[in-house]
Amino acid sequence: MTKAPFTHALITGASSGIGEALAHKLGKAGVGMVLVARRKERLDAIAAQYANCEVLAADLTTDAGVSAVLTRLRDSTRTPIDLVVNNAGFGTSGNFADADPERLSNEVSLNINALMRIAHEAIRQMQPRGRGYLLNVSSIASFQAGPGLAVYSATKAFVTSLTEALYEELRGSGIRVTALCPGLTHTEFQSISNTSGLESKFPEFAWMSADDVARDGLRAVMEGKALCVPGLVNKSLTAVSTFAPRGLARRIAGFATRLR
């Protein structure tokens, strides 16, 4: 990573996948970190590898978990955070009506509510300083409806839309906001979201590693881009969603995301 324009990052969902890859990249670049997720032992193992790294174990589907992160962002006795990465998220595969409604509520709480509250506090803290960076991890699923992953796609549409709006609101403020929109990425997402079937459905060239996604995301942050779609395959799929008639994009997405 080239010299980072930020010195202290807070990363949600840093215990695995894309968040963990981001933590290693930032840690190796000498950026101080606050690592957030539920699995504390995993965060401790990552934190032990880098100087100046705090661990904050929190369940971001709960008010208490979100409050703990907001409190850390506001804490003026500790190093201010100048990069906030809203990365924690999960999905639920299958037909909407068959899904456990509790699980869907938790998905909305994490992917939307926690992300929105953390983004809001981060920007409030950055405004008086006149600088800062916010990276929201969205998905290429945000660009069209996702039959078979309906709630997940809808939450990510929120993330991309919010991020693009904030990018314009904050133009000229010194605060840069980026949405990272990965496609298929090998992480724990597949087992947790019950989408492991995608691994046999799509050829390996359609997949990216968490490390490559993290690299492209951080590059986009440093370049002050509003949107980052990593990888050629994902860029091509996004172009289809953007330019195809809405009904056609919906049908294609249904073929791609439906596993049953």
Candidate residues 93, 125, 163, 185; the one interacting with ligand NAP per rule CB under 6 A: 185
- Residue 39 makes contact with ligand NAP by CB under 6 A: yes
* Alpha-helix residue ranges (DSSP H) falling in 10-114: 17-28, 40-47, 63-74, 101-108
- Residue 60 makes contact with ligand NAP by CB under 6 A: yes
Minimum CB separation of residue 3 from ligand NAP in Å reads 26
The verdict on whether 133 is a catalytic residue reads no
Candidate residues 9, 73, 110, 154; the one interacting with ligand NAP per rule CB under 6 A: 110
- Sheet of 227-228, strand order: 53-57, 32-37, 8-12, 83-86, 132-137, 175-180, 227-228
Q: Which residues contact 29 (CB under 8 A, 6 or more apart)?
A: 1, 3, 4
Candidate residues 66, 112, 137, 162; the one interacting with ligand NAP per rule CB under 6 A: 137
Q: Judging by beta carbons within 10 Å of its beta carbon (0-12, 13-18, 19+), is residue 200 exposed, middle or buried? A: exposed
Minimum CB separation of residue 7 from ligand NAP in Å reads 23
Helix (H), strand (E) at residue 255: helix 246-257
- Residue 113 makes contact with ligand NAP by CB under 6 A: no
Residues that bind ligand NAP (CB under 6 A): 12-19, 37-39, 42, 59-61, 87-90, 110, 137, 139, 182, 184-185, 187-189, 192, 210
Q: Residues with catalytic annotation?
A: 152
